[in-house]
Amino acid sequence: MVPVKPLSIAKSRLAGTIGPGHRPELALAFALDTVRTALTCDRVHGVLVVTDDARVAAAIRALGADVVADVGAGLNAALAHGARIAGAARPHTGVAALSADLPALRAEELDRVLAAATGVRRAFLADAAGVGTTLLAAASGVALAPGFGGPSRARHLASGAVELTPYDVDSVRRDVDTGEDLRAAIGLGVGAATAAVLPSVPFLPRAAAS
Ligand SMILES: Nc1nc2c(ncn2[C@@H]2O[C@H](COP(=O)(O)OP(=O)(O)OP(=O)(O)O)[C@@H](O)[C@H]2O)c(=O)[nH]1
Ligand SMILES: C=C(OP(=O)(O)O)C(=O)O
């Protein structure tokens, strides 16, 4: 399950890095690369995107993923809602929430994370900074109880979720919030949608970068 907030308000922390007007294009490209890769994973039986953005919904459906409307109460409410829908549709399958800003995501790495989560009631993967979370998984029949936002690694640990530490999964941890994150993702190698958008994105001088 991949949450995507409206493109017009997405990626505000890239404001110091990316020229005005280009953040929606980049946020959409990140989401498309994330979903396209997730769809190819052996351990992924379906991808459900939670969004109220019509442009995102159309592009995601074109990839073959499902879309459900947001509930307008923030990220964790969106994820809890999506998890209930996914759980009802596939009662014998676990569900994982995955951040939509993973443009460097590699399928074999996501498969390794999902393999590590298999058999665990609730499990999560910390982001590259070790502060946030990029993936939270719950076994079938177990409530996801998402606690994303800011220092969510500590929140998910405190909630009893098990921290996953599989080897070599940098692309799953590399969410892009800041200019430095974007440079790191480009270093790992971004997917086709992001690679297609980047040449037309004006990068602001590094001194102004966030
Ligand atoms: N459906 C849905 N997704 C959300 C919501 N808030 C955040 N997200 C998604 O959750 C993930 C993490 O989002 P944030 O880091 O809070 O927002 P962002 O747009 O990525 O970046 P900032 O604007 O810099 O905070 C991204 O995939 C967002 O699209 C929400 O209210 N509803
Ligand atoms: C919402 C989260 O991510 P971000 O750092 O992208 O806000 C999180 O890590 O819980």
> In this model, does residue 203 exceed pLDDT 90?
no
Question: What are the pLDDT digits (tens) for 89-114?
Answer: 999 999 999 999 999 999 999 999 99
Question: Is residue 33 included in any domain, yes or no?
Answer: yes
Question: Is residue 207 included in any domain, yes or no?
Answer: no
ipTM over 0.85: yes
132 is in an annotated binding site: no
133 is in an annotated binding site: yes
Question: What are the pLDDT digits (tens) for 144-187?
Answer: 999 999 999 999 999 999 999 999 999 999 999 999 999 999 99
Question: The pTM is what?
Answer: 0.96
Question: Is residue 206 included in any domain, yes or no?
Answer: no
CB-defined site of ligand 1, < 6 Å:
3-5, 10-13, 50-51, 70, 74-75, 78, 99-101, 177
Question: Is residue 190 included in any domain, yes or no?
Answer: yes
State percent of the chain over pLDDT 70: 97
CATH number at residue 159: 3.90.550.10
51 forms bridges with which residues in the sheet?
4
User: Which residue has its alpha carbon closest to ligand 2 atom 9?
Assistant: 132
Question: Is residue 210 included in any domain, yes or no?
Answer: no
User: Which residue has its alpha carbon closest to ligand 2 atom 2?
Assistant: 149
Q: Indicate the number of domains in the chain.
A: 1
User: Which residue has its alpha carbon closest to ligand 1 atom 10?
Assistant: 3
88 exposure class (CB count in 10 Å sphere: 0-12, 13-18, 19+): exposed
Question: What are the pLDDT digits (tens) for 42-90?
Answer: 999 999 999 999 999 999 999 999 999 999 999 999 999 999 999 999 9
Question: Is residue 208 included in any domain, yes or no?
Answer: no
State percent of the chain over pLDDT 90: 91
> In this model, does residue 138 exceed pLDDT 50?
yes
Question: Is residue 209 included in any domain, yes or no?
Answer: no
Question: Is residue 183 included in any domain, yes or no?
Answer: yes
- Which atom of ligand 2 lies at the shortest distance from residue 175's CA? 6
Q: pLDDT band at residue 206, thresholds of 50, 70 and 90?
A: low
- Choosing from 5, 136, 152 the residue with most ligand 1 atoms within 8 A of its CB, the one to mutate for a pocket test is 5
The torsion angle over the Cα atoms of residues 161, 84, 151 and 209, rounded to 10 degrees, is: 140
Phi-psi region of 175 (alpha: psi -120 to 50; beta: other; left: phi over 0): beta
Give the domain extent around 76: 2-198
